[in-house]
Structure 1
Amino acid sequence: MLARAVMTYLLLLIYCINISASRTNFTDESALLVFIAQITNDPDGTLSKNWTQGTEVCSWIGVSCSTRKHRVVSLNLKSLRLRGSIPKEIGNLSFLSFLDFGNNTFNGVIPNELGRLTRLKYLSLQMNNLTGEIPQSLGYLSRLQVLDLSENDLYGYVPSSIFNISSLKIIDLNLNDLSGNLPNDMCSNLPMLQYLFMDNNGLVGELQSRLDKCTQLLALSLSYNRFTDMYLGWNKLTGNIPSEIQNLPAIQHLSL
Structure 2
Amino acid sequence: MGLSGTIPPHLGNLSFLVSLDLGGNNFTGTLPNQLSFLHKLHYLSLTNNSFTDSIPESISNLTNLSYLDFSQNSLEGIIPPEMCKLQRLQYLAFQYNHLSGIIPSWLSFLPKLEYLSLRNNSFTGSIPKSISNLTNLYHLDFSSNSLEGIIPPEMSGLQRLEYLAFQDNHLSGNIPSSLFNISTLRALSLVSNELSGNLPNDLCANLPSIEIIYLGENQLSGQIPSNLSGCSQLKHLSLGINYFSGQIPASIGDLKSLQLLQLPDNHLTGTLPLSIFNISSLQALQLWRNKLYGNLSRELGNLTMLTKLDLDNNKFTGINTI
More strand, by proportion: 2
Q: Secondary structure at the match of 2:123?
A: strand
Alignment-derived partner of residue 228 in structure 1: 245
Aligned partners of 2:193 and 2:150: how far apart in 1? 10
How high is the TM-score relative to the length of structure 1? 0.73
Alignment-derived partner of residue 238 in structure 1: 269
1:101 aligns with 2:118: yes
Quote the offset at 1:252 in angstroms: 4.7
Alignment-derived partner of residue 178 in structure 1: 195
Amino acid at match of 1:239: G
Amino acid at match of 1:234: D
Alignment-derived partner of residue 45 in structure 1: 53
Is the deviation greater in 151-160 or in 235-244? 235-244
Amino acid at match of 1:104: N
Quote the offset at 1:88 in angstroms: 1.6
**Residues 208 and 235 from structure 1, CA distance in 2 versus in 1: closer, same or farther, beyond 3 angstroms?**
closer
Amino acid at match of 1:173: L
Quote the offset at 1:233 in angstroms: 2.5
**Residues 149 and 242 from structure 1, CA distance in 2 versus in 1: closer, same or farther, beyond 3 angstroms?**
farther
Amino acid at match of 1:109: S
Q: Secondary structure at the match of 1:162?
A: helix
**Residues 212 and 87 from structure 1, CA distance in 2 versus in 1: closer, same or farther, beyond 3 angstroms?**
same
> What percent identity do the matched residue pairs reach?
38
Alignment-derived partner of residue 62 in structure 1: 69
Quote the offset at 1:179 in angstroms: 0.3
Amino acid at match of 1:175: S
Amino acid at match of 1:47: I
Post-superposition CA distance 1:58-117 (Å, at most 9, x none): 299538xxxxx9711111000111111012211111110000000001000000001111
1:154 aligns with 2:171: yes
Q: Secondary structure at the match of 2:107?
A: helix
Amino acid at match of 1:52: S
Amino acid at match of 2:62: E
Superposition RMSD on alpha carbons, in Å? 2.6
Q: Is contact 2:87–2:109 with CA below 8 Å preserved after alignment?
A: no
Q: Secondary structure at the match of 1:234?
A: coil
How high is the TM-score relative to the length of structure 2? 0.59
Q: Secondary structure at the match of 2:168?
A: coil
Counterpart mapping for 1:10-49 below 5 A: 44-48=52-56
**Residues 189 and 61 from structure 1, CA distance in 2 versus in 1: closer, same or farther, beyond 3 angstroms?**
closer
- Residue-pair matches, total: 207
**Residues 183 and 246 from structure 1, CA distance in 2 versus in 1: closer, same or farther, beyond 3 angstroms?**
farther
Q: Is contact 2:132–2:156 with CA below 8 Å preserved after alignment?
A: yes
Aligned match of 1:111 in 107, 112, 128?
A: 128
Aligned partners of 2:158 and 2:274: how far apart in 1? 31
Q: Is contact 1:211–1:244 with CA below 8 Å preserved after alignment?
A: no
Deviation >4 Å, runs of 4+: 240-256
Aligned partners of 2:60 and 2:225: how far apart in 1? 55
Post-superposition CA distance 1:152-177 (Å, at most 9, x none): 00000001111001100000000000
Q: Is contact 1:173–1:197 with CA below 8 Å preserved after alignment?
A: yes
Aligned partners of 2:66 and 2:209: how far apart in 1? 35
Q: Secondary structure at the match of 1:82?
A: strand
Amino acid at match of 1:193: I
Aligned partners of 1:160 and 1:170: how far apart in 2? 16
Q: Secondary structure at the match of 1:212?
A: coil
Alignment-derived partner of residue 193 in structure 1: 210
Quote the offset at 1:239 in angstroms: 3.0
1:208 aligns with 2:225: yes
Q: Which has the higher contact order (CA 8 A, sep 6+)?
A: 1
